[in-house]
């Protein structure tokens, strides 16, 4: 255990966040908090990309991206051909986004170097926060790097029909208006409650690169097993296949950036990452599910469920009391995490599925607006600190959020109050810490005490089951 805390993700200037100058205190600076590193709990053989400075990190990512693309036939792209590099907004937030942005820059440079074309465009898909990718393009200087050919795309943009075996689905026209496309993505466990680590790498074809009709059919109209079919069918369509060059993935795990992988066969690539993700994340996720009580602090420039620590999202902890990797756990889907709770069937009208009962209090010190989440304070004791409460009061997608949450002047006051009514000293912070978690001493002790038995359970029972369910040899 480290006596000092890990560095949280830096604040960012954004329409969706408070002014960084109004962020009075980071959770990592609270007295008594320490860090627990993922490598202390569950050591793995592969080491993350570690460099002394951000500049050296970018150099390492560039080197690994070039090496990964060496196995891809970029030469089929001819001089003068147009190429769209398709990206997703979440990638630009992973561990600060610098590694993902550098991977994207390197893809552009390698395509130009090896094919001779300079007509290379960036398309950055987004979800509900339509300005978000435009902000990332500006932050990472991508419009200049792509010579004015970088564009944020949104699900309300003009569509293009894509014929599939189940009918016509719709992609975003500007994502596909090129001779060739390259799928630049990542493997983190975001929205595990949807993809269940089944077809994880296909997901952007029905989300980041699709119009609202197809995107909504993934999110709202179909359950998680059926939803995973939609992006797979889009990728397999003749329309996409005649344009598809490869998938280039930023490899990420709880310890940090692990590397880069490129493959022309997304099916094979997805199978590889399924096994890697179970190996990298399975024990950490199972450990979080064994925690019986905790005060959670959100302190990260992203929407509440997409705030992270040690590569794990708040959304993962929200459902951690159910093994989301076990494919036997499935019920009809109607709302966020609904399918994980078989006892709530059929759903009572107006009653939401319960969150992880281990969450005794939720403190919002720093997070984005622009994600429908009023159900959080409806079901959990939620406190919003200072200017963060004022931002949520003005959130267009959560007009009633602060009707159910409580505004608290300072972070120490919020934590003190939470400790009094929650009757626990266990504190877990989602602040974007790389390589582990910032926690209270009691939480650190609990995590270290649980780790050996969790490790044995995953190795001997859960991992063989997870792999067998997915048709993967142990």
Q: How many CB atoms lie within 10 A of CB 268?
A: 11
Query: What is the average pLDDT across 69-74?
Result: 98
pLDDT digits (tens, 9 = 90+) for 184-216: 999 999 888 878 898 999 999 999 999 999 888
Q: Which of 2-6, 86-90, 143-147 has the lowest mean pLDDT?
A: 2-6
Residue 92 pLDDT greater than 60, yes or no: yes
Query: What is the average pLDDT across 4-27?
Result: 95
pLDDT of residue 474: 67
The DSSP result for 390-429, as a single string, is HHHHT-TT-TTHHHHSEEES-HHHHHHHHHHHH----EEE
DSSP letter for 217, please. Answer: I
Query: What is the average pLDDT across 363-372?
Result: 95
**Confidence tier at 164 by pLDDT (50, 70, 90):** very high
> Is-contact 133 211, C-beta < 8 A?
no
- 288: nearest Cα among 246, 334, 319, 254: 319
pLDDT of residue 341: 44
pLDDT of residue 458: 98
Residue with tokens 């074309």: 117
**Confidence tier at 473 by pLDDT (50, 70, 90):** confident
Residue 472: phi, psi to the nearest 5? -115, 130
pLDDT digits (tens, 9 = 90+) for 113-150: 999 999 999 999 998 888 999 999 999 999 999 999 99
Give the chain's end-to-end CA distance (angstroms, integer).
Answer: 31
Q: Quote the percentage of the chain above a pLDDT of 90.
A: 81
In whole angstroms, give the CA distance from residue 406 to residue 259. Answer: 42
In whole angstroms, give the CA distance from residue 469 to residue 457. Answer: 17
Prediction pTM value? 0.94
Q: Which residues contact 33 (CB under 8 A, 6 or more apart)?
A: 5, 27, 427, 429, 438, 439, 440
**Confidence tier at 333 by pLDDT (50, 70, 90):** very low
pLDDT of residue 71: 97
In whole angstroms, give the CA distance from residue 447 to residue 443. Answer: 6
What domains are defined for the chain? 20-44+281-467 (no CATH), 54-254 (3.40.50.11440)
pLDDT digits (tens, 9 = 90+) for 166-179: 999 999 999 999 99
In whole angstroms, give the CA distance from residue 35 to residue 229. Answer: 40
pLDDT digits (tens, 9 = 90+) for 267-288: 999 999 999 999 999 999 999 9
In whole angstroms, give the CA distance from residue 318 to residue 415. Answer: 19
> C-alpha distances in angstroms, 177 versus 205, 281, 283, 378?
15, 36, 42, 43
**Confidence tier at 50 by pLDDT (50, 70, 90):** confident
In whole angstroms, give the CA distance from residue 103 to residue 248. Answer: 8
**Confidence tier at 350 by pLDDT (50, 70, 90):** low
**Confidence tier at 219 by pLDDT (50, 70, 90):** confident
């Amino acid at each position: 255990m480290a006596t000092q805390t890990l560095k949280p993700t830096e604040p960012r200037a954004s329409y969706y966040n408070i002014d960084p100058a109004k962020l009075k205190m980071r959770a990592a600076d609270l007295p008594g908090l320490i860090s627990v590193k993922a490598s202390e709990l569950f050591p793995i053989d592969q080491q993350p990309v570690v460099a002394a400075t951000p500049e050296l990190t970018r150099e390492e990512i560039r080197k690994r991206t070039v090496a990964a693309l060496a196995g891809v036939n970029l030469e089929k792209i001819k001089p003068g051909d147009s190429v769209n590099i398709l990206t997703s907004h979440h990638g630009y937030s992973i561990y600060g986004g610098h590694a993902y942005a550098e991977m994207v820059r390197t893809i552009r440079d390698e395509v130009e170097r090896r094919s001779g074309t300079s007509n290379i465009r960036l398309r950055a898909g987004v979800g509900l926060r339509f300005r978000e990718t435009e902000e990332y393009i500006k932050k990472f200087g991508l419009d200049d790097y792509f010579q004015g050919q970088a564009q944020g795309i949104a699900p309300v943009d003009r569509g293009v029909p894509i014929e599939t075996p189940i009918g016509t689905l719709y992609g975003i026209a500007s994502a596909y208006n090129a001779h060739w496309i390259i799928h630049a993505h990542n493997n983190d466990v975001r929205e595990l409650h949807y993809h269940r680590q089944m077809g994880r790498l296909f997901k952007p074809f029905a989300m980041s690169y699709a119009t609202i009709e197809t995107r909504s059919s993934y999110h709202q109209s179909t359950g998680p097993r059926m939803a995973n079919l939609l992006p797979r069918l889009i990728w397999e369509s003749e329309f996409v296949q005649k344009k598809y060059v490869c998938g280039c993935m930023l490899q990420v795990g709880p310890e940090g950036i692990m590397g880069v992988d490129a493959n022309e066969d997304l099916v094979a690539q997805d199978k590889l990452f399924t096994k890697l993700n179970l190996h990298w994340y399975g024990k950490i996720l199972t450990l979080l599910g064994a925690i019986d009580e905790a005060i959670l602090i959100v302190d990260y420039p992203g929407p509440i469920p997409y705030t992270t620590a040690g590569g794990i999202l708040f959304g993962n902890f929200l459902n951690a009391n159910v093994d989301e990797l076990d494919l036997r756990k499935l019920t009809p889907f109607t709302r966020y995490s609904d399918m994980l709770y078989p006892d709530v069937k059929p759903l009572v009208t107006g009653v939401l599925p319960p969150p992880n009962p281990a969450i005794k209090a939720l403190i919002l010190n720093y997070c984005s607006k622009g994600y429908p989440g009023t159900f959080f304070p409806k079901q959990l004791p939620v406190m919003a600190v200072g200017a963060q409460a004022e931002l949520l009061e003005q959130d267009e997608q959560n007009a009633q959020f602060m009707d159910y949450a409580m505004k608290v002047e300072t972070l120490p006051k919020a934590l003190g109050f939470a400790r009094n009514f929650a009757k626990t000293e266990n504190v877990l912070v989602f602040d974007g810490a790389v390589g582990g978690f910032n926690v209270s001493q009691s939480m650190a002790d609990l995590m270290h005490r649980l780790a050996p038995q969790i490790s044995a359970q995953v190795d001997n029972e859960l991992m063989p089951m997870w792999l067998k369910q997915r048709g993967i040899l142990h």
